[in-house]
Amino acid sequence: MTIERCIDDYGVSEVIFEEGSTGRDLYVVLDGKVDIVRGSGAARALVISLGKGEFFGEMAVIDGSARSATAIAAAPGTRVMRINHARFVYLVSQQPAFALMVMDALSKRLRASNAANFKVAP
């Protein structure tokens, strides 16, 4: 598969994937911005905004579970590259720096989630 077939373009507010959907792709933001949100309608809450060079969808590509949030293009001309499960496994096995980058991002995201959700009473 050529790299061009793995790149998708999105306009503002276009959904890349929905919370609860299945998928085994990780995405890398090439241009633009992607908002990761939880919930729906008026209850929709922004989790994080990601820009060029950042990635999302790593949990589903690793464990095959349902998407934990919705990814929405948040800027005109948003472009993302899809990395499927097989390519992800290959990259992790052949490029230790890639594996460390993913683990580092997962660790930082888990720490941020813990800080937001588990505040210690004074």
Q: Which domain holds residue 9?
A: 3-85
Q: How many domains does the chain have?
A: 1
**Residue 121 confidence (pLDDT):** 62
The answer to whether position 122 is within a domain reads no
Q: Of residues 99 and 1, which shows the higher confidence score? A: 99
The answer to whether position 71 is within a domain reads yes
Task: Give tens-digit pLDDT for 7-46.
Answer: 999 999 999 999 999 989 999 999 999 999 998 878 889 9
Which pairs with CB-CB distance under 8 Å and at least 24 residues apart come from 35-40?
A: 35/71, 35/72, 35/74, 36/69, 36/70, 36/71, 36/72, 37/69, 37/70, 37/72, 38/68, 38/69, 38/70, 40/70
Query: CATH no. for residue 76?
Result: 2.60.120.10
The answer to whether position 100 is within a domain reads no
The answer to whether position 79 is within a domain reads yes
The answer to whether position 121 is within a domain reads no
The answer to whether position 8 is within a domain reads yes
**pTM of the full structure:** 0.86
Place of tokens 């005109």: 76
Task: Supply the mean pLDDT for the chain.
Answer: 90
Give the containing element (helix H, strand E) for 109.
helix 96-117
